[in-house]
Amino acid sequence: MLKTKTKYGIINWTKPNDYNFADITTNIAFKLSKELKKSPILIANEILEEIKSSIDFESIENVNGFINVRLSKNFLIEFVFEILENDFIEKESPKNYIIEFVSANPTGPLNVVNARAGAIGDSIVRIGKFLGHDVISEYYVNDEGNQILSLGYSILWRLGYVFHFKSNKFYIEQEFREEPKILIIDNEEIELDVYRGDYVIDIAKSLKDIVGNEIENLKNSYKSKEEFLDKFNNFSYKIGKLASDFIFNKQLEVLKKYGVSYDSIVRESFIRNSEYPKIVLEKLRDYLYFEDLEKRQFKVEEKNISKLLDKKYYLEHYKNKALILRTTVYNDDKDRVLIRSNGEPTYFFWDIAYHYYKILRLNGSGYIVNLLGPDHYGYIPRLKSALKMLGFENLSILIIQQTNLIKDGIKLDMSKRKGQIYEMEELINEVGVSASRFFFLLRSPSSHLDFDIDLAKRLSSENPVYYVQYAHARIESIKENAKNVGIDLDFKKEYLLKYDFKNERKMIVYLFYFEEIVKKSFYNLEPHLIVYYLLEISEMFHSYYQRYRVIDIEDKFSTIARIIILSAVQKIINLGLSLIGVSAPKRM
């Protein structure tokens, strides 16, 4: 968007609320009024007089403090050719970003919630890179924790293993049970926490031989029930790790099919085994305290604080005490546990260590952006508080609201635990990548989204992605038809200089707003603004096409002028679609 230098600073012109009265506008006089202790109208008059010679305008006026400009024909012609020559958006001063999105647990297939996060996150990354920033797209793999153990149980259940332990003796039998009561200790059946989706059956079949070999390593006798349970859970965890790797690789395949790739993949297991957890504990020392079961608080006096990450050492010296981080110092509603009284660090602690790793890669300057689900609102203050303690404040968290799938007019129920899943890959196969991504951007990330599968498959103007893509294809068809009737599309400015483009002016001016929309989409984390823009410019084009004749064999000069303008429209549509990962077909 156009910028103008004045004695009061740089004016960043913006899109007016009603472009029937102005092409560009600024409210800078209102922003300066309090500082200068002057009326906005007087300030606007001063600025207006100063900039008259610096803008190529048709008219410029002060409307109650707002400076409204209608751009000249020459200016708009130059702008059209800047679009055609790919030189119309000013690149930004490069900044560093790490943008993390999707980061689904590797315990099941990607679902529609992940698909929406993928469309939003990947679009933000694409836009940021287009603007010239150094953007790293990142996926964090939660390949540790209780969910991995539950996944291991799930595989063993689906493979039909039943584990018996009695009188310190252990044996296995094959029996496919409807419920996951596959651990029997002293004749008591124990129901394990599992994932019930049918997808587990397919994964289990793929791992059958590997699991069979691993089971051979289990002993036949143990000294105690506790020893057996410890070995059984370690074995189940190992199986869960194998399954999670299998699932994660599949997730990456689906994301690649969706047009999403990552510059960086970080595993929780890497963070746990790195030096970052120890460094973080030391850096947070002044904000830590112990709390016992009676809520009494104790100062942390451990000299070698990294020893607290040794569970055996922790239980020997701090049994029944939790290590707490005083996050209320920076506006969290309560302090947060970092290490439980049983010596186990919390997910929050590992996540702080992971974010410290992000900070290091940004060399202390840059921005961290996380895209999270709607169940993470309470997580924002504690994470921001912890990072502030580490000296970092440039954290942005975008909460993506729930998505409902609508099919045949009915809302589909979905739950991974219950096994009711509409997989992301299933959606892609049914409606296509472009339609999926476009539909997920039809609403602000902060709004609930109803995804109408039947509408997304419809090949008509009712389908918004079809409507935009058809505008692009129709302009391509116009250019081909012109060539077929012998019109040489030689794009020169003289055609527009001699053409009265009053019927096309509104479209040209609207193209001028695209740069502002692109930048807002990135800095406000709102890529849906590009979708809104594409729908509006496509509507302008379709309406124009229905009202006016583009190709006139008797008037080739005007025909070429019109096609030059429409080619600029097509170029913007093509770029807009590419920034959100949607195809721009030339034929439909």
Does any domain span residue 514? yes
Please state, in angstroms and rounded to a whole number, the distance separating the CA atoms of residues 323 and 289: 6
Q: How many domains does the chain have?
A: 3
pLDDT, tens digit (0-9, with 9 covering 90-100), for 380-405: 999 999 999 999 999 999 999 999 99
Please indicate, yes or no, if residue 8 is contained in any of the structural domains. Answer: yes
> What 3-state class would DSSP assign to 163?
strand
Decide which of 229, 245, 261 is a domain's last residue. 245
Closest to 292 in 3D by CA, of 317, 332, 323, 316: 323
Q: Give which of 84, 100, 92, 71 is closest to 13, Cα–Cα.
A: 71
At 108, the pLDDT band (50, 70, 90 cuts) reads very high
CATH number, domain containing residue 24: 3.30.1360.70
Query: Does residue 95 contact residue 369 with C-beta atoms inside 8 Å?
Result: no
Tokens coding 579: 């920034």
d(CA 224, CA 231): 11
Which residues face 66 on adjacent strands?
A: 63
Q: Strands across the sheet with 449-452, in order?
A: 410-411, 403-407, 449-452
Reduce the DSSP state of residue 322 to 3 states and report it. Answer: strand
Average pLDDT over residues 63-80: 94
Q: Are residues 55 and 155 both part of a single domain?
A: no
pLDDT, position 158: 97
Report if residue 349 sits inside a domain. Answer: no
- Within this chain, do residues 52 and 153 fall inside the same structural domain, yes or no? no
What pLDDT, in 10s, does the model give residues 348-381? 999 999 999 999 999 878 999 999 999 899 999 9
Judge contact between 116 and 145, C-beta under 8 A.
no
pLDDT of amino acid 10: 87
Q: 3-class DSSP state for residue 181?
A: coil
Q: Which residue range is the domain that position 26 belongs to?
A: 3-71
Q: Are 154 and 54 found together in one domain?
A: no
Residue 158 falls inside a structural domain: yes
DSSP assigned state of 319 = T
pLDDT tens figures, 261-299: 999 999 999 999 999 999 999 999 999 999 999 999 999
Residue 284: HSE in the Cβ half-sphere, 13 Å Cα cutoff:
28
CA distances from 445 to 244, 398, 518 (A): 28, 8, 16
Which residue, of 226, 245, 264, is where some domain finishes?
245
Q: Is residue 539 part of a domain?
A: yes
Q: At what angle do helices 225-257 and 199-215 cross, to 10 degrees?
A: 130
The DSSP letter of residue 401 is: P
Residues 223/229/231/235 CA torsion (nearest 10 deg): 150
pLDDT of residue 216: 84
pTM above 0.85, yes or no: yes
Tell me which of 21, 46, 71 is where a domain ends: 71
* Distances 67 to 8, 33, 52, 79, 450 between C-alpha atoms, Å: 14, 14, 11, 21, 40
What's residue 414's pLDDT?
Answer: 67
Does 573 share its domain with 487? yes
325 forms bridges with which residues in the sheet?
A: 288, 336
pLDDT tens profile 169-218:
889 999 999 999 999 999 999 999 999 989 999 999 999 999 999 998 88
Q: Is residue 268, in this structure, part of any structural domain at all?
A: no
CATH of the domain at 538: 1.10.730.10
Residue 435 within a domain: no
Give the integer Cα–Cα distance in Å for 7 and 5: 7
Q: Is residue 426 one of the residues assigned to a domain?
A: no
CB within 8 A of 224, min separation 6: which ones? 168
Give CA–CA dist 51/48, Å, rounded. 5
Residues 572 and 469 in one domain: yes
The amino acid at 340: R
